[in-house]
């Protein structure tokens, strides 16, 4: 997902992207949604969130 798309999602959650990096922004969105802040933490193989919006970009 492109950064501009992520910023739009963040805006819907009243998150100010500012100069946040992609991973920081995604984790802020995950927190706002009440989900674990696991994006790009190396736990994708064990997270169990196969339907996650960020799954394709996660490592």
pLDDT in tens, 2-58: 999 999 999 999 999 999 999 999 999 999 999 888 899 888 778 878 788 888 888
Spatial separation of the C-alpha atoms in residues 46 and 48, rounded to whole Å? 6
pLDDT in tens, 15-28: 999 999 999 999 99
Q: What does the CA dihedral 54, 34, 45, 2 come to, rounded to 10 degrees?
A: 10
- The pLDDT score that the predictor gives to residue 59 is 67
């Amino acid at each position: 997902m492109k950064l501009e798309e992520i910023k739009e999602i963040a805006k819907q959650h009243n998150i100010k992207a500012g100069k946040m990096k992609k991973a920081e922004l995604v984790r802020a969105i995950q927190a706002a949604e009440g989900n674990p802040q696991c994006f790009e933490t190396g736990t994708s193989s064990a997270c169990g969130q196969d339907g996650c919006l960020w799954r394709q970009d996660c490592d």
